[in-house]
Structure 1
Amino acid sequence: MKSIIRAALVATALVIPVASFAQSQITRAQVRAELAALESVGYHVGDGDQAHYPEAIQAAEAKLAARDGATAYGGAANGASQSGSARVSQSDWNAMYSR
């Protein structure tokens, strides 16, 4: 019984570091570039205003997105999209679902 527990603990210890590497890695240069871009629209890191941190960073990101013409997740996309698809023909339907 002790060997099963040891094997489970060893397996867990080996899987945890692998799972942490699955996350995307960004470089220090990318972080510095993002901070420089946020500072260019008026956001100041470490200004001591902890009470309004979420609103301040979100406002700065919104200004940055508006300046760069980018849209955030769920924003309106430029271009056209089509919802749904054409009706399936009877022969295709029969080929898929008839026996």
Structure 2
Amino acid sequence: MKSKYLNGSIVQPMLGSLIVSVTLMATSGCVYAQTPTESNKHQLTRAEVLHELEELESVGYNPSQGDDGDYPADILAAEQKVAAKHQAERDALAAAGQTAQTKPTSQPSP
């Protein structure tokens, strides 16, 4: 009689708790796998950061000015200059491509 009491009052609820726990763990793993994380973003390499700094310096930004009261404004201005420089380069390439396409090819005389 004692074994029936133990089986009914202790083992069955523990088995139910075990099943619920396993189910929750399995579904929480699936939910976590579907959520986007910050690690999906491209991490900048050291070379990319150095290239960006060189571009900023090429338009007049000087990061070694020490305690600069104009810090946010001067780097934002430099970033805008770099963006304008890149846009001008893209425009020049597009214009060169259009010129090459519209320029008639000379045909040899018979």
Measured against the shorter chain, the TM-score band is 0.3 to 0.5
TM-score, structure 1 length as denominator? 0.46
Higher relative CO (Cα under 8 Å, sequence separation at least 6) belongs to: 2
TM-score, structure 2 length as denominator? 0.43
Whose Rg is larger? 2
Higher helix share: 2
